[in-house]
Structure 1
Amino acid sequence: MSLSPASTPALDPLSDVLAVLDARATRPQRLEADGDWALAFPLRDRLKFVAVVKGVCWIETLVGGRQRLSAGDVCLIGRTAYTVASNPELPAVDGLSLLDGAGQGSLRLGGEATVMLGGGIALSRASAGVLLDMLPVFAVAPSASVRAASVTAVLALLDTEMTRAEMGAGAVAARLAEVLLVEALRACASGEAPAGWLGALADLRLGRALALVHSDIAEPWTVARLAAEAGMSRSAFSARFTRMVGQPPLAYVRSWRLARARALLDRGEASVGSVAMRVGYASQSAFGHAFRRAFATTPRRAPD
């Protein structure tokens, strides 16, 4: 019997971005609260999530205003300070210092009428902006979303791991936090009108073009070729891509080439010349010019 070779799917752009930027979950934390309480958290260069396991609360950001959350809701928070509270009119205290001082990643404020989990994805200082610029500053994956079952299942597993004294619980909780964050991103992308880079990933035509770019960043992509792959005219593709992603197609290709190059150099995995070729530059001088223009520094391999 003759078997045809399995087709290789195009690389998933979200997985590519998280892998290249070495995104890793921070230690998840658990909050139990009752009565009147309000906690403020500062802006930090990381992608964060706040998930409600039980009860209700309010979250407030500069970009998202005030929103009431209930059990099963998960918020994604980018570059913005935020406040979680039983009542948004209450004055807030420093939540970060309270959680850091609580120990074992758990804080209890009076009772457990409301139970919340929080965590995030840490990135290197140099790479944080790449991911955060792609994602919404604030978004909610509601418990009524089409992916609610997956989010609820992971949320329940994460809460269980954080409340048990089993060996490896910390490692399992960190991995589950990563899964929860990805499921929340999927839920946001599958909403009624997803916007930005997530919306482009969910778009059948733009998603195909993005997957091809991430699968072979060194390919000499043109707008005409990407438009053809997406089954669109050149002008329609370019306009739609720019509107959703926030930059023209070839600007996106260039920015991701340089982001991947910077990550490779930071890890000391290859010489400058080799990295230039791997990300699609025909000469080291052209690569150096583009790198300096993007990052205001000369490309250098990190010391071993």
Structure 2
Amino acid sequence: MRDPLSEVISLLRPQTPSSKLAAASGPFRVRREDVTEVFYAFVLVGRVCLQLDGKALLEMGAGDFVLVPAARGFTISSVDPPPASGTTSRPVVGEDGVFRIGPVDGPVDVQQLVGHCSFGSADSELLVSLLPDMVVVRGEQRLGALAGLLRDEARADRPARDVIVQHLLEVLLIEAFRASGQPGGSPGLLQGLADARIGPSLRAMHRAPEQAWTVAQLAREAGLSRSAFYTRFNRIFGVPPMGYLLSWRMTLAKHLLAGGGQGVAEVGARAGYGSVSAFSSAFQREVGCSPMRYARTVAAE
């Protein structure tokens, strides 16, 4: 059985990446507001400032990697020299495919590998909410190597390209989240997995979602009292334990129904429901349609 992080990344179904090499000369400031996809960047040379909307200014140097799972606007600017107030730079693609910022004949002060991808899951909003809103990894060269492989593969016209790209994206995301999963980080799945108490109960839910879990049983997995476990889980995830379990079961059920080949009874059993009627009622309440209708709708798309 894969661990919860691998499950979430796999269910997100990362796809359709675009990546580019960007080289900058002199002072610059690039502003992007039309962001609708996952954003990541790896600094190869120099230093930059990244300002995500609603977040503190982040300075990055060579070897640093940043990943933003949820789309939001951002500004990237030079550190030395800093841009003058009101400076706006427009990247221009060169004949070599490299995007240049600033004077095209000037010495390269900053070089970055920048990429975007999307999530194919219908539950991407729920799954992304389990992850940190920003991941920063410093000095981890293997992330740069993965990003480079992804860039090369996405641009190639080779057999099984789409399959390889998806797997490379999954590995890149897992490596980034794994490298940043430290206690005290952003609320969500990584902090839960890193928490010595909540981690065992979280893994138990993912290992056996079909089990008739209670708060008392999950608290025993965590080695805490019911009230202490409930409070700690809710603080990390922003939802109670049983609310998290219900959302996860529905996510798995939709994934299984979309895959076809399994009846409603079997899917319901794997999602932790002892009868078709109980599963159908819960699915209707949470998703807004019956399991059969959901499966037919997905198949018709």
TM-score interval, normalised by the smaller of the two chains: 0.7 to 0.9
Q: Which residue of 2 aligns with 1:132?
A: 128
Pair 1:26 & 2:22 matched: no
- Tell me which of 208, 217, 221 is aligned to 1:216: 208
Aligned residue for 1:282, secondary structure, equals coil
Q: 1:90 to 1:179 in 2, by over 3 A?
A: farther
CA distance in 1, matches of 2:156, 2:120: 31
Q: What CA RMSD, in Å, does the superposition of the two structures yield over aligned residues?
A: 3.2
CA distance in 2, matches of 1:160, 1:139: 20
Pair 1:49 & 2:40 matched: yes
CA distance in 2, matches of 1:106, 1:292: 50
Q: 1:45 to 1:157 in 2, by over 3 A?
A: closer
How far apart are residue 208 of structure 1 and its match? 1.3
CA distance in 1, matches of 2:13, 2:43: 27
Q: Which residue of 2 aligns with 1:4?
A: none
Q: Which residue of 2 aligns with 1:7?
A: none
Q: Which residue of 2 aligns with 1:153?
A: 142
Q: Which residue of 2 aligns with 1:184?
A: 176
Task: Answer whether contact 1:21 1:263 (CA < 8 A) is retained.
Answer: no
Aligned residue for 2:299, secondary structure, equals coil
1:234 is aligned with what amino acid?
R
2:109 is aligned with what amino acid?
A
How far apart are residue 133 of structure 1 and its match? 1.1
Aligned residue for 2:57, secondary structure, equals strand
Q: Which residue of 2 aligns with 1:116?
A: 112
Aligned residue for 1:280, secondary structure, equals coil
Aligned residue for 1:136, secondary structure, equals coil
How far apart are residue 189 of structure 1 and its match? 1.3
| Deviates further, 158-167 or 253-262 | 158-167
How far apart are residue 195 of structure 1 and its match? 2.9
The one-character-per-residue Cα deviations of 1:65-91 (angstroms, maximum 9, x if unpaired) are 322211122222123221212247444
The one-character-per-residue Cα deviations of 1:143-179 (angstroms, maximum 9, x if unpaired) are 2xxxx4xx223314644775799996x7877755543
Q: Which residue of 1 aligns with 2:251?
A: 259
Aligned residue for 2:13, secondary structure, equals coil
CA distance in 1, matches of 2:286, 2:176: 31
Q: 1:252 to 1:212 in 2, by over 3 A?
A: same
Structure 1: runs of 5+ lacking an equivalent: 1-9
Alignment of 1:1-304 (within 5 A): 11-24=2-15, 26-42=17-33, 44=35, 46-77=37-68, 78-86=70-78, 87=82, 89-92=85-88, 106-109=98-101, 110=104, 112-124=108-120, 126-141=122-137, 143=138, 148=139, 151-156=140-145, 158-159=147-148, 162=151, 176-190=168-182, 193-197=184-188, 198-299=190-291, 300-301=294-295, 302-303=298-299
Structure 2: runs of 5+ lacking an equivalent: none
Q: 1:39 to 1:226 in 2, by over 3 A?
A: same
CA distance in 1, matches of 2:247, 2:2: 18
Task: Answer whether contact 1:46 1:132 (CA < 8 A) is retained.
Answer: no
Task: Answer whether contact 1:27 1:174 (CA < 8 A) is retained.
Answer: no
CA distance in 1, matches of 2:285, 2:88: 42
How far apart are residue 281 of structure 1 and its match? 1.5
Task: Answer whether contact 2:51 2:57 (CA < 8 A) is retained.
Answer: yes
Q: What TM-score do the two structures reach when normalised by structure 1?
A: 0.79
Aligned residues: 283
Aligned residue for 2:198, secondary structure, equals helix
CA distance in 2, matches of 1:161, 1:273: 40
